[in-house]
Chain A
Amino acid sequence: MRCSPLILLVIFASISLSRWAWPLDPAQWEKKDKELAESPTVLTADSMEIRLDESLIRYKGNVRVRQPKYLLDAQEMELRWDPQTRKIKQLLAKGKVRMETEDATGSCGLALVDLEKEVIEMTEHPKMVQGGEHVEGERIVYSIRAKRSTVLGGKERRVRTLVVPGGTK
């Protein structure tokens, strides 16, 4: 029994339409952004040490931070909370730090993640690739929310940008 091309076309069209996502309007984007911000951050590591007197948690060995908006790998991670408000504000990633967001990747020796502001500040030979541009400097500040990076140079390390022709913006 042979299927007519019309029937095949109808089946193909129905599968394709079911997968079709209409573009979100600004209100829906806002809702999606809020959902992403509220989704939990997952930290995995080989071991964890809590120092109650110092309001500090230290993760060691193959540390990975997973959030829908970004991924961060490091050898060690420190997490501090405010003893008064009991809120965690910052994550400090140390050693072979690798970062991946929706539109950028980066690496450095030390990275400070501000969880409230959603800002990653990279130091110690920071490098970043964003939209086909390779940037280096003394300090790179990347805003996850705005998807924007600021590269700062110093006396020892000047800002260096390498633009790859044909890179996606």
Chain B
Amino acid sequence: MPRKRATVVLIGFMAWLFATTRPQAEEAEKERSSADLDTYVQIKGVHFQEFGESGLTVELWSSSGKYSRRGESLELEGVKVLVRSGSGQSKKMMELRGKRGNVQLEEKLVTVKGDVQVITEDGYELQTDEATYSYETREIEGPGPVKVIGPEGVTTGVGFHVWVEEKVVLVHRSVETILEPGAIQKAKEKLKE
């Protein structure tokens, strides 16, 4: 008799356990399947701004974009990034332009590819194929061949680094500068465009 009672209790416990754990498993299954699916948002005419503790950290424009929720990223076409250096009255602007762009929101990185231009207010223009702007460290970097058009003339080299706050541009390797009087005018005209 006590053996029969024990069996009934055991069956009852098993039924209770099944009833309580099944909804949890179903929920976990649902969550897993929703995580596999991504949500994309197609946007036309993008104006993106991100604010931090110190205010506006990044501002960009693009003709079209695609936002991925899973990747926390934004794919852009025809992108223009406004890079601010300094503060108050001494605030200066730089522009980063390119055919395509990608914003990694977690890493705070904007990667621009295709006919990339970095234009400074001082009349400098950097031309390259790929550049990455970290709006956290406020640095622009490019690994490939670069052309710098500035007051001194036209410089070619490989690899560059721009420290936006310090207003320093470094060309890493194989530098060649041709000092030409016409270079200043060319850079100024480009900035007006």
Contact = CB atoms under 8 A, between A and B. Distances in A.
A41 B153 CA distance: 9
Interface of A: 40-53, 57, 59, 79, 81, 86-88, 115
Given A43-B176, A48-B175, A79 B152 contact: yes
18 contacts: A42-B176, A42-B179, A43-B178, A43-B179, A45-B175, A46-B173, A48-B171, A49-B168, A50-B124, A52-B124, A53-B166, A59-B177, A79-B152, A81-B151, A86-B123, A86-B184, A88-B151, A88-B152
Contacts of B176: 42-44
Lowest 7 CB-CB distances: which A-B pairs, in order? Answer: A52-B167, A50-B169, A43-B177, A41-B179, A48-B175, A48-B171, A86-B151
Contacts of A46: 173-175
Contacts of A48: 148, 155, 157, 170-171, 175, 177
A115 B175 CA distance: 20
A47 B150 contact: no
Nearest to B174: A46
Interface residues on B, range: 20 to 34
A49 B170 contact: yes
B179 A40 contact: yes
Nearest to B172: A47
B147 to A, nearest CB: 12
A86 B124 CA distance: 12
Interface string B45-71: 000000000000000000000000000
Given A50-B168, A86-B123, A57 B152 contact: yes
- Most chain-B Cβ atoms within 10 A of its Cβ — which of A42, A53, A79, A87? A53
Given A41-B179, A81-B152, A51 B167 contact: yes
Interface in B78-127: 120, 122-124
